[in-house]
């Protein structure tokens, strides 16, 4: 298989999963990957977090996504290592299985002058029944940021409102041309190409917040982003949505590939109901593993969306 590769800026430098220790008093790292962040990895190997401590601990305490747009702050416990490895911003997302908090999924990035990306947390205002802006990070997107601070999303409106209504993740390409993306003109002006909205669900269906990841093809949040959903009898998960700015031919796998319980990253996340980061593709179906290796991709991360007592979808990042 021959593929054409295009030089792109890689946004993500680290993805981590933090889970409660056996006694439930701290968070410890259960899986992670680090790209060009060796110092940060060394420090992280020795780190644990109490509730309210550092970004993982703040997410644990708040129960909603938290964005740090400057990792140099002392509120970010590993700020010295982050600075050395040029990690600039991050978002932490809580994962719930029903009422039980089970993990924090952390995305940490490096931005450059050509980066165009945003991490947004949209928080449910139960009184007004709308999603309001929470914390956010905007790389070279000042106009887009200013526009966003005045925006609200009612139930079913826009990409966040759609994730709220469906209790499902939504992946949207070509934002500038989309009638479903209410900031399409801003996306066009700023060069944003695609977005992923993921609901944060507690209990069986209660929405606490929605995470929105937006980026340009030239500096994607991940080279490949996928959404997998179960078939009708839940005997397998099918790949149902893909954007692949850094590995174009992998978009052709959509609706052509599935996995069984326990098979590969998606099957493991489905079985364990937990986020997972892993390197390599030896456990993946050959139809996914071969192109991933051809494109020089090295790791993947799975993010389960759990509602109504079951895993309803798995979002996958491949880089």
Do residues 212 and 120 touch, judged by C-beta distance below 8 A?
yes
* In the predicted structure, residue 8 carries a pLDDT above the cut 70: no
Q: Which of 183, 202, 221 is the last residue of a domain?
A: 221
Please give the average per-residue pLDDT across 99-117, as a whole number: 91
CATH of the domain at 61: 3.30.450.40
* Cα-based distances in Å from 224 to 71, 181, 220, 245: 25, 21, 8, 7
* In the predicted structure, residue 3 carries a pLDDT above the cut 60: no
- Domain enclosing residue 280, as ranges: 222-319
The count of domains in the chain is 3
Q: Which of 95, 110, 125 is the last residue of a domain?
A: 110
Q: How confident is the model at residue 1 (pLDDT cuts 50, 70, 90)?
A: very low
Q: Which of 110, 125, 152 is the last residue of a domain?
A: 110
Q: How confident is the model at residue 7 (pLDDT cuts 50, 70, 90)?
A: very low
CA 3 to chain centre: 26
Pick the residue with more confidence: 285 or 19?
19
Token couple for 296:
């020089």
Considering the domain architecture, whether residues 61 and 145 belong to the same structural domain is answered as no
Considering the domain architecture, whether residues 44 and 129 belong to the same structural domain is answered as no
Low-confidence winner among 25-34, 64-73, 174-183, 278-287 (lowest mean pLDDT):
174-183
* In the predicted structure, residue 199 carries a pLDDT above the cut 70: yes
**Amino acid 173: pLDDT:** 93
Low-confidence winner among 27-36, 111-120, 147-156, 239-248 (lowest mean pLDDT):
111-120
Considering the domain architecture, whether residues 95 and 28 belong to the same structural domain is answered as yes
């Amino acid at each position: 298989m021959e593929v054409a590769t295009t030089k792109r800026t890689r946004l993500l430098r680290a993805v981590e999963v933090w889970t409660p220790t056996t006694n439930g008093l701290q968070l410890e790292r259960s899986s992670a990957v680090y790209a060009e962040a060796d110092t940060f990895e060394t420090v992280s190997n020795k780190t644990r977090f109490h509730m309210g401590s550092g970004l993982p601990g703040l997410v644990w305490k708040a129960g909603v996504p938290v964005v740090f747009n400057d990792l140099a702050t002392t509120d970010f416990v590993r700020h010295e290592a982050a600075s050395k490895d040029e990690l600039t911003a991050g978002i932490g997302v809580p994962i719930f299985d029903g009422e039980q908090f089970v993990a924090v999924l952390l995305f940490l990035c490096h931005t450059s002058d050509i980066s165009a990306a945003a991490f947004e947390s949209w928080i449910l205002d139960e009184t007004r029944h709308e999603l309001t802006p929470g914390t956010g990070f905007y790389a070279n997107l000042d106009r887009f940021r200013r526009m966003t601070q005045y925006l609200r999303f009612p139930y079913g409106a826009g990409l966040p409102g759609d994730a709220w209504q469906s209790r499902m993740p939504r992946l949207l390409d070509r934002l500038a041309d989309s009638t479903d993306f209410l900031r399409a003109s801003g996306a066009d002006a700023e060069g944003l190409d695609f977005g992923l909205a993921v609901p944060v669900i507690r209990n069986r269906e209660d929405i606490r917040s929605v995470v929105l990841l937006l980026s340009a093809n030239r500096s994607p949040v991940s080279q490949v982003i996928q959404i997998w959903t179960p078939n009708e009898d839940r005997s397998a998960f099918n790949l149902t949505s893909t954007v692949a700015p850094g590995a174009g031919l992998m978009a052709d796998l959509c609706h052509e590939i599935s996995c069984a319980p326990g098979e590969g990253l998606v099957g493991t996340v489905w079985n364990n109901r937990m986020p997972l980061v892993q390197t390599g593709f030896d456990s993946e179906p050959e139809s996914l593993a071969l192109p991933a290796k051809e494109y020089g991709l090295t790791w993947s991360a799975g993010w389960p969306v759990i509602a109504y007592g079951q895993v309803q979808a798995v979002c996958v990042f491949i880089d």
